[in-house]
Amino acid sequence: MKKTNLDQWISELEGIPELTREKLEALQLRRLNALLARARESKLHYETLPEKLDSLAQLRELPFTTADMIARQPGRYLLTSQSEVARVISGATSGTTGPAKRVFYTERDTEHTVGLFMAGISEMARPGEKVYIGMPFSGPFGLGDLIAKAVERLRAVPIRAGIGLTWGQQKELMEAERPENFIGFPVPLLGLARFCGDGFPLRRALVSGDACPAGVMAELERLFPVYPHYGSREMGLGGAVTCPAHEGMHLRENHVLAEIVDERGAPLPDGQWGELVITTIGLEAMPLIRYRTGDRARFLAEPCPCGGVTRRLDRVSRLDPGAVDMEEWDSRLFRLPQLVDYHAARSETGFRIRAAVTGEIGAREIRNALGIDAEITVSVCHKDDKPFYPAKRYVQ
Ligand SMILES: [Zn+2]
pLDDT tens figures, 273-291:
999 999 999 999 999 999 9
Output the pTM of the full model: 0.94
Ligand 1 centroid to 222 CA: how many Å?
A: 22
Ligand 1 centroid to 131 CA: how many Å?
A: 23
The mean-pLDDT minimum among 8-22, 45-59, 84-98, 143-157 falls in 84-98
Ligand 1 centroid to 306 CA: how many Å?
A: 4
Considering the chain, what is the average pLDDT of its residues? 93
Q: Which of 71-80, 153-162, 362-371 is the most confident on average?
A: 153-162
Ligand 1 centroid to 94 CA: how many Å?
A: 29
Residue 93 pLDDT more than 60?
no
pLDDT of residue 318: 86
The mean-pLDDT minimum among 44-58, 95-109, 176-190, 314-328 falls in 95-109
Neighbours of 293 (CB within 10 A): 23
The mean-pLDDT minimum among 41-50, 95-104, 292-301 falls in 95-104
Ligand 1 centroid to 11 CA: how many Å?
A: 15
Ligand 1 centroid to 248 CA: how many Å?
A: 7
Task: Confirm if 335 and 219 have CB atoms less than 8 A apart.
Answer: yes
Ligand 1 centroid to 383 CA: how many Å?
A: 40
Ligand 1 centroid to 243 CA: how many Å?
A: 5
Whole-angstrom distance, CA of residue 194 vs CA of residue 302: 36
What is the torsional sign of CA 13, 19, 24, 26? negative
How large is the average pLDDT for residues 119-140? Answer: 96
Per-residue pLDDT tens for 239-276? 999 999 999 999 999 999 999 999 999 999 999 999 99
pLDDT of residue 321: 62
pLDDT of residue 94: 45
Ligand 1 centroid to 299 CA: how many Å?
A: 13
Ligand 1 centroid to 274 CA: how many Å?
A: 22
Residue 97 pLDDT more than 90?
no
pLDDT of residue 98: 56
pLDDT band, very low/low/confident/very high, at 344 (cuts 50, 70, 90): very high
Residue 9 pLDDT more than 50?
yes
Whole-angstrom distance, CA of residue 269 vs CA of residue 85: 37
Strand pairing class (257-261; 274-279): antiparallel
pLDDT band, very low/low/confident/very high, at 100 (cuts 50, 70, 90): confident
In the chain, the percentage of residues whose pLDDT exceeds 70 is 97
pLDDT of residue 216: 96
Ligand 1 centroid to 252 CA: how many Å?
A: 12
Ligand 1 centroid to 105 CA: how many Å?
A: 28
Q: What is the CA radius of gyration of the chain?
A: 21
pLDDT of residue 147: 97
Burial 103-131 (b: 16+ CB within 10 A, else e): bbbbeebbebbbbbbbbbbbbbbeeebbb
> Minimal CA–CA distance to 74: which of 113, 48, 105, 111?
105
Per-residue pLDDT tens for 191-237? 999 999 999 999 999 999 988 999 999 999 999 999 999 999 999 99
Ligand 1 centroid to 309 CA: how many Å?
A: 8
Whole-angstrom distance, CA of residue 9 vs CA of residue 4: 9
Neighbours of 157 (CB within 10 A): 19
Whole-angstrom distance, CA of residue 329 vs CA of residue 282: 37
pLDDT band, very low/low/confident/very high, at 96 (cuts 50, 70, 90): very low
How large is the average pLDDT for residues 111-127? Answer: 97
Ligand 1 centroid to 147 CA: how many Å?
A: 22
> Minimal CA–CA distance to 135: which of 40, 207, 81?
207
Strand pairing class (240-242; 274-279): unpaired
